Amino acid sequence: MRLIVNLLGLLLVYGLLCLPVSANIRQYEFVIKEANYTRLCETKSILTVNGQFPGPTIYAGKGHKVTVKVVNHAEYNITLHWHGVDQPRNPWHDGPAYITQCPITPGSEFTYDIILSEEEGTMWWHAHSDWDRATVHGAIFVYPKLGSSFPFAKPYKEIPIILGEWWKGNVSQVLVDALRAGNDPNISDAYTINGQPGDLYVCSKPETFIAQIEHGKTYLLRVINAAVNNELFFAVAGHRLTVVGTDARYTKPFATDFIMITPGQTMDLLLEANRPLNASSSSSNNRYYMAAKPYASALGVKYDDTTTTAILEYITTPRRKMTTIDSSPVFPSLPANNDTDAATTFTAQLRSLASEDHPIDVPQTIDKRVVIAVAMNVLPCNENNTCLGPFGNRISASLNNISFETPITDILDAYDHQIVGVYGEGFPSDPPLIYNFTGDNLPRFLLTPKKATEVMMVEYNTSIEVVFQGTNQLTAENHPLHLHGQSFYVVGRGFGNFDKEKDPQGYNLVDPPMENTVGIPKSGWAAVRFRANNPGVWFMHCHLERHLTWGMDTVFIVKNGRTPESQILPRPMNMPQC
């Protein structure tokens, strides 16, 4: 049962912590359409699902199947991706445009099968075409199977916290302009919590998101970073948070005053409503700000340095009439925007729950190690750019010195039909050039990547380790690398250059966190392990949208195994055509 209360324009959304129905297949219809939204004193038309921003939440039980019929009533090509859902053997419905499908063109429709397996907790869905995901996104909540329960006391209610980014201008145009100029895209004008910028922005106060809570109860905050280009710190004034899950996997609980969350990640947090209640006072004394602001790791790159807020409000009895906020609620303390130590210390605490009911299976040995240098680059201009980028070039980005070129027909179809010429199988297993990746003053000749569409072929059931090596080329930055089709164990992270003799000795092979998006530390590296037992065509990319656009992407094709159960499902009849 879901309760939606619209009280004096203050929207409260709580899902009760059980599923409305126990049916194993749930069906949704998502209509892509433009809708007018007013934020920061200006009204503009944005792309939405069913007119909602953020879009509708998908509720499911562990292991269930969900279908979403997408009807495109907009004037844009679009695709949707179910972020964090492994989609066993089902790359057909994974979503990235020109990787696993051709776009859903205006006026047409496509039904996605979302096959859930091991995921339990919070995920999300978003558009995976151009920058449409700025406004086309929503939550996916996956509940324990009937008869099982959370690995912690059942929270009283849950509160979705969807962190987003808002541009006053047309986001599609921001992308077009950035590609034309060859320079950094316009920064956003606000961050949002559940679609609302909050009290610190002009014209936003009356619609700030307010979650009403009862003293003595425990709440589950399901936090999703759906921002386009920014990692974020998030905290709640007056309350410590207990992290219990990330990326739809449970973690060993730990208490923290703030979190750092990269685009693409989710975090499940318990909040105990344990502040003393001031029943005699005006409501402001029983209100606490929740706030998010950027963790901006790149030096010299312009970013939106504003702060979004929402409010936790204790319900007093007798219930007070809600009026506009008369005085400021307590504000949380958040790390400085450039506080890499704070980001690192927080992230280092994440560990898998690894309990009897939630076992893990970290590959103890590996068949193959792939090292991927993650770099910012520049390319010479062509007639389509005006060269406003560094050194009179245009900005680009790469993995192992290949700046991914998106094909005009999808890779999965080409793989399935053995069409040659769409992609090559030459994505290198190691950086083509070994240099001091995290050195200062790197020579300029390193900066130019190759533009190509190269994938990495992976034998079925390979135990694979991927080491992402951050580089200082152009700008050092924390890059959230996201893999489709499987989650991975983050076995190690560190600063400087990865040392293949020394660093593996420090790996956590006991209870590393399982994630689908890992932040590669600025001027550092991260090592992940997984068993490649999900055959398919799986996109891997930085989840900062501008880096994805510039080519910080590649594709892993996991080959079929020998048995029918280890092979890609047959191609659905209704795939969109290019």
Ligand X SMILES: *[C@@H]1O[C@H](CO)[C@@H](O)[C@H](O)[C@H]1NC(C)=O
Q: How far apart, in whole angstroms, are the C-alpha atoms of residue 225 and residue 42?
A: 24
Size of the site for Cu ion (CB under 5 A): 4
Query: Within 13 Å of residue 77, how many CA atoms lie on the same side as its CB?
Result: 13
Three-class SS state of 409: coil
Q: Which segment (193-201, 202-210, 216-224, 379-387) binds ligand X by CB under 6 A?
A: 379-387
**Sole residue written with tokens 């606000």:** 190
Cα dihedral 272, 291, 169, 224 sign: negative
**Is 544 a residue that touches Cu ion (CB under 5 A)?**
yes
Binding partner selected for residue 282 from Cu ion, ligand X, none, CB under the kind-specific 5 to 8 Å limit: ligand X
Q: Which of 52, 105, 406, 475 binds ligand X (CB under 6 A)?
A: 105
Between CA 514 and CA 530 the distance in angstroms is 9
Of 451, 375, 458, residue with least CA distance to 407: 451
Q: Binding of ligand X at residue 225 (CB under 6 A)?
A: no
Q: Looking at 90-98, 357-365, 377-385, 537-545, which segment touches Cu ion (CB under 5 A)?
A: 537-545
Residue 382 partner contact from Cu ion, ligand X, none using kind-dependent CB cut-offs of 5 to 8 Å = ligand X
On whether the CB atoms of residues 315 and 214 are closer than 8 A, the answer is yes
Binding range to ligand X, per CB under 6 A, among 115-123, 150-158, 218-226, 448-456: 448-456
Residue closer to ligand X (CB basis): 178 or 267:
178
Contacting range for ligand X; rule: CB under 6 A; set: 208-216, 353-361, 377-385, 512-520: 377-385
Decide: 493 and 479 in contact? Cβ < 8 Å. no
Q: Is 449 in the site for ligand X (CB under 6 A)?
A: yes
418 lies in the binding site for ligand X (CB under 6 A): no
d(CA 40, CA 207): 11
State the binding partner of 578 from Cu ion, ligand X, none, CB within 5 to 8 A by kind. ligand X
Backbone angles phi, psi at 311, to 5 degrees: -130, 135
CA distance 72 to 237: 41
Q: Which residue, 171 or 220, is less far from ligand X as judged by CB?
A: 171
Strands 514-515 and 308-314: unpaired
The DSSP symbol for 284 reads: G
3-state secondary structure of 207: helix
Asked if 215 and 272 count as a contact pair (C-beta separation under 8 A), the reply is: no
Instruction: Please report, as residue ranges, which positions from 475 to 494 form the binding site for Cu ion (by CB under 5 A).
Output: 479
Can you tell me the distance from the alpha carbon of 80 to that of 101, in angstroms, rounded to the nearest whole number?
A: 10
Dist CA 482 CA 301 (whole Å) = 22
- Judged by CB under 6 A, the stretch of 80-88, 305-313, 433-441, 506-514 that binds ligand X is 433-441
| Closest distance of CB 179 from ligand X, Å | 10
501 binds ligand X (CB under 6 A): no
Check binding of 173 to ligand X (CB under 6 A): yes
Per CB under 6 A, 45 contacts ligand X: yes
Quick one: which segment of 102-110, 140-148, 411-419, 514-522 binds ligand X (CB under 6 A)? 102-110
Should residue 407 be labelled a site residue for ligand X when binding is judged by CB under 6 A?
A: no
Compare residues 114 and 476 and give the one whose CB is closer to ligand X. Answer: 476
Q: How far is the CB of 299 from ligand X (least distance, A)?
A: 7
Of 542, 555, 558, 568, which lies in the binding site for Cu ion, with binding defined by CB under 5 A?
542
User: At 205, phi and psi to the nearest 5?
Assistant: -55, -45
Exactly one of 318, 445, 501, 564 binds ligand X (CB under 6 A); that residue is 445
| Terminal alpha carbon distance of the chain | 41
Among 547, 553, 556, 557, binds Cu ion (CB under 5 A): 547
Q: How far is CA 494 from the centre of its chain?
A: 22
In what helix (H) or strand (E) does residue 180 lie, and over which residues does it extend? helix 171-181
Which residues, listed in sequence order, are joined to residue 28 by a DSSP beta bridge?
68
The Cα–Cα gap between 66 and 188 comes to 33
Sheet architecture: strand order including 137-143: 58-61, 137-143, 121-127, 80-83
- Binding of ligand X at residue 475 (CB under 6 A)? no
Q: Of 169, 206, 426, 506, which one interacts with ligand X (CB under 6 A)? A: 169
DSSP secondary structure code for residue 423 in this structure: -
Residue 561 contact, options ligand X, Cu ion, none, Cβ 5-8 Å cut-off depending on partner type: ligand X
149 lies in the site for ligand X, by CB under 6 A: no
Q: Is the dihedral of CA 187, 549, 228, 98 positive or negative?
A: positive
541 binds Cu ion (CB under 5 A): no
Question: Does residue 327 bind ligand X (CB under 6 A)?
Answer: no
Regarding 425 and contact with ligand X (CB under 6 A), the answer is: no
Listing DSSP states for 74-100 in one string gives: SSS-B-EEEET---TT-GGGT--BTTT
Instruction: Kindly tell me the number of DSSP H helices and DSSP E strands found in the chain.
Output: 4, 34
Using CB under 6 A as the binding rule, whether residue 382 contacts ligand X is answered as: yes
Residues of span 253-312 touching ligand X by CB under 6 A: 278, 280-282, 285
Which of 122, 266, 306, 401 touches ligand X by CB under 6 A? 401
Taking CB under 6 A as the binding criterion, the range among 108-116, 174-182, 499-507, 510-518 that sits at the site for ligand X is 174-182
CB under 5 A: which stretch of 255-263, 294-302, 467-475, 541-549 binds Cu ion?
A: 541-549
Name the site residues for ligand X (rule: CB under 6 A): 34-36, 45, 77, 102-103, 105, 169-170, 172-174, 176-177, 186, 278, 280-282, 285, 336, 338, 382-384, 401, 432-433, 436, 438-440, 445-446, 448-450, 461, 561, 566, 578
